[in-house]
Amino acid sequence: EDQVTQSPEALRLQEGESSSLNCSYTVSGLRGLFWYRQDPGKGPEFLFTLYSAGEEKEKERLKATLTKKESFLHITAPKPEDSATYLCASGGYQKVTFGTGTKLQVIP
């Protein structure tokens, strides 16, 4: 069975304090590794798709990287508006399996 594990469960950062979120996966026939942001009561907001080991994607203060067994979401100099739950997911053409997320709080 596909499994996606995220750590830590929660992370509290001071504004400007960079850090990384981890996502490890064990799936059969991996086609893509996805990162989403979810605000309370809202739907997941697409951030990145990574397809192969060594690939990197960037968007503003966020950078996602992928190895054969893990993905990292690096947050550089975060701001309070980056506070959200960050979801990692993996899957193929159909089903996507989500992790439980990392709840990030950035304190001014």
Partner 1 sequence: EPEVTQTPSHQVTQMGQEVILRCVPISNHLYFYWYRQILGQKVEFLVSFYNNEISEKSEIFDDQFSVERPDGSNFTLKIRSTKLEDSAMYFCASSVGTGLIRSQYFGPGTRLTVT
Q: Residue from 3, 18, 100, 105 that binds partner 1 (CB under 8 A)?
A: 100
Least separation, in Å, of the C-beta of 65 and partner 1? 17
Helices first, then strands: H and E counts in the chain = 0, 11
70 vs 50: CA distance, rounded Å:
11
x/- letters, 52..81, toward partner 1 (CB under 8 A):
------------------------------
Q: Give the whole-angstrom CA distance, residue 49 versus residue 88.
A: 10
Q: Is 92 in the site for partner 1 (CB under 8 A)?
A: yes
